[in-house]
Structure 1
Amino acid sequence: MRAGSPRLLREINDRAAIEALLRNGPLTRSELEGLIGLSKPATAQLLTRLESADTVVRNGLRGGGRGPRAQLWSVNGALAHVAAVDLTPDAVDVAIADISGAVLTEHRAPMPRGGSTEVLEAFSTAVGKAAGQAGLTPESLLHVVVGSPGAVNPATGELAYAPHLPGWGGFDLPGTLTEMLGTSVSVENDVNLVALEEMIAGRATEVRNFVVIWPADLVGAAVVINGSLLRGATGGAGEIDGLQIPDRAAAETDTDRAGGTFGELLSNVSICKLARAHGLAARNGHGAVRKALTAGPAGREFLVDLSRRIATGVASVVAVLDPELILLSGEIAQAGGTTLNDLVAAELRQLVVPRTPVQLALVTGKPVRSGALHSALAVAREQVFGLPAATTEPFRGRAVAPSAR
């Protein structure tokens, strides 16, 4: 096909229109015309062509005032469906969406503590039930993305760095899930998916180099370099739970001051023990942090001690990568809010030369599942529409006018 041929121009224009509709939702012809830069007749012909191909559908009317109401157009969501899954040791949280990004159904189910047969069967049942609620089968899903603690080794497919997920190791995880569900499956580290969501809709939309830190039980990190996730040779980039650090907390909790793992010092048990050393009782780490915010001087001292532990581990990451931004995410970070965030930033400045800003992650709620959904949609849209799979880039595509031939 020659560059500049009518067919090539139509394909470029069609992709630009589809991407505009996916990013902005239902649009009128004139709104679409303004976004992709075509003339009124050319945009009308484009919509007719896409409607004939069942790629776009009419989606109600927009109007008001005294003028006529305008026809709205949207991408045909029924063209393909995907699943996003947040897998934790205790539960599996599934969302089914169509290719437009509309979530059709959600389903959450407990996960057993057993061997591979038990956990895989429970996982498959949960995905099957979610698909059934949307009138689908797992086999009819175009792609499934699973967000999981730990990391999949790209050479073997085995899940590593996840001792808290018994039954999930020792085999090709994406391959096994693909065979079980009858459709393609990707498995991505959960904090990596949080970073993806921050690039799409959070504080990192205009940041090229940053790190997300999840300072909680089983500490994790996601590293983004030049706008791309760094996964490492074995998939273990960001697996900082086992990083050996000293305990710089002032309160005495019988820890080895010479060092322990980052994860041990920020486990629920350790955080609650640190809180008790400051006179605060809580059943879990984020509960202790929330209580400390209203506990006066004792609460403040506990938060300072906790920030020392967090900052000590983060300092190693900053010293090596010198990122533009550190984002704190997860239950502990959200519970501590700006108070804990600012304390961590202050402690970090005492430990490393780079004055890296520290901020709370903006995306809350279900960031892992949301990141998995965007990842699954990127795969589906590349296959169905030929759109670039990079979901973190802002919309820059403009149609090519016929006169440019």
Structure 2
Amino acid sequence: MSDIDATAIPRGARASVETVLAAVWDDEMFTSNDVMPRVGLTRSTTIEAIDELIRFGVVEELPNARAGGDYRKGRPARRFAFRPDAASVVGVDAGRTHVIATVADLRGRPLARISRELTTDLDDALRRQEVVAAAIDAALAEARITRDGVVAVCVGVPAPVDSAGRSPVRHNEFWRRMNPDLVDTAAPWAPLVRVENDASLAAVAESAHGAATGCRNFIAVLAGDRLGSGVVIDGRLLRGAHGGAGELIPFDHVTGVGSADGIGVHVATWAREAAARGRIGARSRLAGLTAEELTAPVVFHAAQAGDPDAADIIARSARVITRVAAVFGGFFDPERIIFCGAIADSIESALVPARAMLQDEMDLPAPELVASPLGADVVAIGAVAAATESARAHLLAFASAPLTASSR
């Protein structure tokens, strides 16, 4: 499967075969009569395409209606099913301090997941490549799948990524350390390899499984440690010449925001500053906590419980959220801004006042502010969804032989 050969399916038949495959990918069971009106092909061409997909290994023929017990009269129709187990995909969330590798079938259903924690002194490029490769191999081993059984790999990183999967060199080289050409890690053995910015994959996840389902204009904001965004306008994920379309370092220069630090960092920092200056009341839920214990979730939960000191901090974060949303709204005119990552589980108490304030900040209609339902796994979920998307678009373009269970 690692040898790309465009002659695997005859060129003249490829278009009709790809059309039929796209139409049946999500079907549990189908007949040629089910497919014909959806693809606009003749019966003979449709059947030929289905037979080609059976030969290729991604569709199987089921027992006919008579054998299945549904036959009544007349000639029983041939019945078919897409084979999501014909091959596998791998999605990787390669964050600053963690690597999560997930193996899934062709419909994105997880088969195995491996998580590795990293320390911040392991920013060495070679070491990072090794950790990512080892996590992928460990997840494949857990799923009992060989590299030959993988058709697509997607890796998410905290850096801008261009269309070739490379990150630009910045003066501190952080982006290159986060993405030391990770596209080359799987390229020797995986037919389809994709590296994306982590916030862009959050947008993919929200579109496929989260708060943006059916929405064509939205922004997914990773808001925990650092602000990052995936921007989808008119149904298309924006990238830019160097992958920087969603990069938020320019917020360093925006009054009322002041940096690209995430909402979680702001909340924790303000709580620690208040404690150090003696501004936390003795009866506050935050009183007596160490700096390490004064985390964003703790402050959010205290505010939700009615703690006034915590509520003041959350109100301050709401003003930052409002300004961030107003900038996004003015530049991109989205329908919705989705706050993603681990912070999404507790950010609602800040979104409530931010929604009200945003109405007065904008000339355009204000976008809806929502918390993601996908939690801390949003990038890992998006990486699998993107790998599945790649397989769905290009599955038939590369293999020199049919997919078989023996490759797994």
TM-score when scaled to structure 1?
Answer: 0.75
Alpha-carbon displacement from aligned partner over 1:186-245 (angstroms, at most 9, x marks no partner): 210111111122223334344333222222211111222222122222212222155126
Summarize the Cα distance change of 1:77–1:158 in structure 2 as closer, same or farther, 3 Å threshold. same
Aligned to 1:397: none
Alpha-carbon displacement from aligned partner over 1:293-339 (angstroms, at most 9, x marks no partner): 112555443322221122123322222223232222222233133x4
Aligned to 1:76: 83
Aligned to 1:317: 328
Deviation (angstroms), 1:83: 0.8
TM-score when scaled to structure 2?
Answer: 0.74
Q: Residues 104-115 of structure 1 correspond to what in structure 2 (within 5 A)?
A: 104-112=111-119, 113-114=121-122, 115=124
Q: Pick which of 230-239 and 298-307 moved more.
A: 298-307
Alpha-carbon displacement from aligned partner over 1:236-277 (angstroms, at most 9, x marks no partner): 2222155126786xxxxxxxxxx7314176516325437755
Is the contact made by 2:344 and 2:373 (CA closer than 8 Å) also made in structure 1? no
Are 2:312 and 1:301 aligned? yes
Distance 1:204 1:12 in 2: 31
Distance 1:346 1:195 in 2: 24
Distance 2:206 2:171 in 1: 24
Is the contact made by 1:217 and 1:266 (CA closer than 8 Å) also made in structure 2? yes
Are 2:228 and 1:220 aligned? yes
Q: How many residues align?
A: 368
Summarize the Cα distance change of 1:66–1:336 in structure 2 as closer, same or farther, 3 Å threshold. same
Distance 2:295 2:169 in 1: 26
Deviation (angstroms), 1:76: 2.8
Distance 2:330 2:40 in 1: 46
Greater RCO, 1 or 2 (C-alpha within 8 Å, sep 6+): 2
Aligned to 2:344: 333
Counterpart of 1:157 in 2: which secondary structure?
Answer: coil
Q: Residues 347-358 of structure 1 correspond to what in structure 2 (within 5 A)?
A: 347-358=357-368
Distance 1:60 1:335 in 2: 50
Summarize the Cα distance change of 1:26–1:109 in structure 2 as closer, same or farther, 3 Å threshold. farther
Is the contact made by 1:247 and 1:265 (CA closer than 8 Å) also made in structure 2? no
Q: Residues 90-105 of structure 1 correspond to what in structure 2 (within 5 A)?
A: 90-105=97-112
Are 2:210 and 1:202 aligned? yes
Distance 2:263 2:41 in 1: 58
Ranges in structure 2 where 5+ consecutive residues have no aligned partner: 1-9, 287-292, 399-408
Q: Pick which of 101-110 and 25-34 moved more.
A: 25-34
Is the contact made by 2:230 and 2:246 (CA closer than 8 Å) also made in structure 1? yes
Aligned to 1:260: 258
Alpha-carbon displacement from aligned partner over 1:316-372 (angstroms, at most 9, x marks no partner): 2222223232222222233133x4322222222232322322232554142212221
Summarize the Cα distance change of 1:370–1:58 in structure 2 as closer, same or farther, 3 Å threshold. farther
Counterpart of 1:261 in 2: which secondary structure?
Answer: coil
Ranges in structure 1 where 5+ consecutive residues have no aligned partner: 1-6, 249-258, 388-405
Which of residues 124, 130, 138 in structure 2 aligns to 1:129?
Answer: 138
Identity of paired residues, percent?
A: 24
Aligned to 1:370: 381
Summarize the Cα distance change of 1:197–1:133 in structure 2 as closer, same or farther, 3 Å threshold. same
Deviation (angstroms), 1:56: 0.7
Aligned to 1:392: none
Is the contact made by 1:215 and 1:330 (CA closer than 8 Å) also made in structure 2? yes
Aligned to 1:396: none
Q: Pick which of 129-138 and 21-30 moved more.
A: 21-30
Distance 2:65 2:98 in 1: 42
Counterpart of 2:361 in 1: which secondary structure?
Answer: coil
Are 2:129 and 1:120 aligned? yes
Deviation (angstroms), 1:385: 3.3
Aligned to 2:59: 56
Distance 2:31 2:301 in 1: 47
Distance 1:41 1:185 in 2: 35
Which of residues 228, 237, 242 in structure 2 aligns to 1:229?
Answer: 237
